[in-house]
Amino acid sequence: MERERTPQVIVYFAVYLVFEGLSFRACARAIEPFVKRTHKAVWDWYQDIGSNKSFHKLFRLGRERVRIFAVDETVITIAGMQAFLFIAYEPFEDRILGLQFAWTANSIAVERFLDDLTRKYGHHPVWTDGAEWYSLACQSMNLRHHVYEHGTWLWEVMERAVQRLKDRTESFDDLFPCRNQGSKCRFAHINNWINVFWLHNQPMYHSFIKAIKNVLI
């Protein structure tokens, strides 16, 4: 007999609970009044939502509200090796616009990241800390490049955003390490997690979860 499909509202709520701090096992117990599922099922939902691009698109900031791309990178440890995590931020809207992993930080990786951003949000000035790879990538893509100075309000905003993302990502990898070590790691589990991180920081997503709570209650 085929198992009854889990209602989507339960799936979304379960993933929300995980990101709020519950373990997968605790989350499975929390949804028992509605459906009985294993912690492995919750893990699978988490990965599915993280890879669902059409779902993410529903909560993306409208391109007409984007004024600048504030871009920075941070070094993180994944699968026992150092990697780079790039982040694009809209400081006036307080929204994460995009995230990208790369084993190396160079103009090619940045250009790939900026190309994805411009396709989603249009062409906007790029503000960075002045690393060489940003200047080269912006020049190649004909984007205006500006450098924010250490200690300015934009520098402080980016430092907070990057540090929060770095801490949460490395903590996730510590708890759920990649099975492939070193360069064989393809970031699949981390990429899906980071997509859920992006969702969790979108105001419209919180409104969506609030509506689900009202249904369940």
**Residue 36 tokens, joined:** 């009985």
Determine the pLDDT at residue 177.
54
pLDDT at 2: 41
For residue 100, what pLDDT is reported? 86
Q: Could you state, in chain order, the average pLDDT of each consecutive group of 10 residues for the chain (217 residues)?
A: 76 89 88 92 90 90 94 82 88 90 90 95 96 95 95 92 76 54 58 83 90 85
Identify the pLDDT of residue 178: 55
pLDDT value of residue 182: 46
Contact 151, 157 (CB under 8 A): no
Q: Does the pTM of the predicted model rise above 0.85?
A: no
| Secondary structure (DSSP) of 77-100 | EETTEEEEEEEEEETTTTEEEEEE
Continuous segment of H or E residues that includes residue 146 = strand 145-147
- At 65 the pLDDT is 94
C-alpha to C-alpha distance for 32 and 6, rounded to whole angstroms: 12
Q: What is the pLDDT of residue 190?
A: 73
Give rounded-to-5 percent helix, strand, coil for the chain: 55, 15, 30
Fold of 65-185: Nucleotidyltransferase; domain 5 (3.30.420)
Helices 39-50 and 8-19 cross at an angle (nearest 10°) of 90
Domain ranges of the chain: 8-58+206-216, 65-185
pLDDT confidence of residue 207? 92
Residue 2 main-chain phi, psi, to 5 deg: -75, 140
- The CA distance from 122 to 156, in Å, is 25
pLDDT of residue 103: 83
Region of 75 on the Ramachandran plot (φ > 0 left; ψ -120 to 50 alpha; else beta): beta
